[in-house]
Chain A
Amino acid sequence: MQASMLADRQAQVWARLQTVTDPELDESVTDLKFVTEVEVDADARVRIGFRLPTYWCAANFSFLMADDMRAAVLELPWVRAVEVVLGEHMYADKINAGLAEGLSFQQTFGDEADGDLGEVRRTFLLKAFQRRQAALLAHLLEAGHRPESLVTLRLDALTRLNFDEAGAALLSRYLERRDVAAQAGEPLAFIDTEGAPLQAETLSTYVRALRRVDVNAEFNSALCRGLLHVRFDTETPLTPRRAAPLDQTSRAPA
């Protein structure tokens, strides 16, 4: 196989990894500099190395990210096998062995777990939904949209509104997570985590309450980046990240 083809495949893998988020921070694992290496061999086998800000980062999130990385990369049609390896972590051996054997979290941790990661994954997808929704609502309120019209705004009408560049980014981030709370075919643009409509009278209080989620995530992200930077050299650029345009749309909740 030609070197250029391998390099292209490597870039495809990086592009897929870009779509995987840290569930807690709601940011891409590549932007966070968690992924340290991507190797593709001539037999179309992929090896991904990653690291986390501390030796103690929670086992569930560590496993989730590894599992999501594997799933995201397996979507590339040419990939025959994916190996994901976590380095310098309290559960590195256990997690790496579990991943290598294709075990679930419950199978990997046995008595230390009482189920798989569906619940924790959903909790954090909902937080991501709240955070993204609050940011978009705040943006629209700031732009002069009235609460009465926002709570009844339909999804198709939302996507037809005129947005500046910042607003368009907020919109696309919100739409990526809207399905976490919205039933299929839900006509309203904005619903709460239960899928219920919002109320005009309490909309600003609602947005204010969700602000807690946003502040928390921002704070954690700053802390995690700082700790990672102290622990590892995060300045040296790794392999070029992307060749293709980003695809942020394909990850569905478990």
Chain B
Amino acid sequence: MYRTASGEEIFVIDGHTHFWDGSPANQKNVHGKQFIECFYAYHSNLSPAEEKWPLEKFEKYDAQTMHDDLFVHGYDDMAILQSTYLTDFYKHGFNSVERNAALKNKHPERFILNGAFDPRDGNKGLEQLHADVEKYKLTGVKLYTAEWRGDSKGYRLDDKDSYKFLEAAEKLGVKNVHVHKGPTIIPLNKDSFAVGDIDDVATSFQGLNFIVEHCGLPRLDDFCWIATQETNVYGGLAVALPFIHTRPAYFAHVISELLFWIGPDKILYGSDYGIWTPKWLIDRFMAFEIPEELSKETGAVLTLETKKKILGLNAARLYNIDIEAQKSRIGAAGGYDHLAAAYAAE
């Protein structure tokens, strides 16, 4: 919970978090090592100096650390756990649904658990999706289209097989599809970050919401274009948001473009934990204003109302979260005890 200077409370849903194991013991090969080191480079490059972790902590943190970083030191009220397998790089998967489910079981009032599927897994994958939705009551999935699988270096959402999985997911009651594009996808000669396939499936699957993580970066321009045209395409702020510290001017431009093209109702906050932590991201986001010159040009203003939407209201709408009821549940589990103490001390 974030509380403004005037005492107004803002309910925060973190749209993008991970409980991963990137440790050397779990790495299968050099790619596993390079994968976590690349994440660590994002972390080191964009975090304030005092928020930087040693590599060892970054590779594998425990459940308590994550809980406290998000909900005690940080302002998150709830967080969406995204599952990512990367079984070609990691022996037991990078961030499996089982591992995430164990965390959610400890704090059911705090987490929304999302599964994952890979259309290249065929019928076995469809059966697994069915079983996962049933077992974990999934309403969302995270797709990583650049995942390596044997000789395959990725897939497209508008493939025939992807359609089968999206149809199955929709039938099973999955509503939200988080899409993350990475650098390798087939065929390699095309632009691997192109978002045309999201455009295609967003049109075909009107009953699903497509949340494009990192706002389609590095193709923000193409993303804005498709998200403007498709009512069911949303942008996740992870990776863009930490620029608020190192390059606030760039962040101002990016958030202005997003507000101008896709509007305040379709942008979702995400810390991308453990790459970044909610405390400093939200402190800076709440203090941030778009420079006047830029506002004049785009008409985009980051009002308190808009910030509330980005930080929680939009995700609550997508995931059917009744905020007041959820607050009671979290409060009953003692989740706000630390706040009461802090407010009393003020």
Are A and B bound to each other? yes
Binds B, one of A2-10, A115-123, A179-187: A115-123
Selected contact of A114 from candidates B35, B38, B42, B187, CB within 8 Å: B187
Interfacial chain B residues near A105, Cβ < 8 Å: 188-189
Is the CB–CB distance between A56 and B182 below 8 Å? yes
Is the CB–CB distance between B217 and A219 below 8 Å? yes
Report the Cα distance A223→B42, complex, angstroms.
Answer: 8
Which residues of A178-208 are within 8 A (CB) of B? Answer: 208
**Least CB separation from B260: chain A residue:** A208
Selected contact of B220 from candidates A54, A111, A216, A222, CB within 8 Å: A216
Is the CB–CB distance between B189 and A226 below 8 Å? no
A90 at the interface (CB under 8 A from B): yes
| Interface size grouping (class) on chain A | 35 or more
Interfacial chain B residues near A123, Cβ < 8 Å: 191
B232 at the interface (CB under 8 A from A): no
Interfacial chain B residues near A215, Cβ < 8 Å: 220-221, 250, 253-254, 257
Report the Cα distance A230→B37, complex, angstroms.
Answer: 10
What per-residue 1/0 map shows which CB atoms of B167-203 lie under 8 Å from chain A?
Answer: 0000000000000001110111111110000000000
B105 at the interface (CB under 8 A from A): no
| Interface size grouping (class) on chain B | 35 or more
Selected contact of B44 from candidates A55, A213, A230, CB within 8 Å: A230
| Min CB gap B344→A, angstroms | 41
What per-residue 1/0 map shows which CB atoms of B248-276 lie under 8 Å from chain A?
Answer: 00100110010001000000000000000
B3 at the interface (CB under 8 A from A): no
Selected contact of A120 from candidates B190, B219, B221, B240, CB within 8 Å: B190
Is the CB–CB distance between A90 and B188 below 8 Å? no
Report the Cα distance A115→B189, complex, angstroms.
Answer: 6
Which residues of A207-234 are within 8 A (CB) of B? Answer: 208, 211-213, 215-216, 218-220, 222-223, 226-227, 229-231
Query: Known: A227-B41, A227-B42. Is A59-B188 also a contact (CB below 8 A)?
Result: yes
| Min CB gap A58→B, angstroms | 5
Is the CB–CB distance between A219 and B189 below 8 Å? no
Is the CB–CB distance between A56 and B219 below 8 Å? no
| Min CB gap B60→A, angstroms | 20
Report the Cα distance A58→B192, complex, angstroms.
Answer: 7
Which residues of A100-142 are within 8 A (CB) of B? Answer: 105-106, 109, 111-117, 119-120, 123-124, 127
Is the CB–CB distance between A120 and B191 below 8 Å? yes
B204 at the interface (CB under 8 A from A): no
Question: Which residues does B use to contact A, with CB under 8 Å?
Answer: 31, 34-35, 37-38, 41-42, 44-46, 151, 153, 182-184, 186-193, 217-221, 224-225, 239-240, 243, 246-247, 250, 253-254, 257, 261, 298
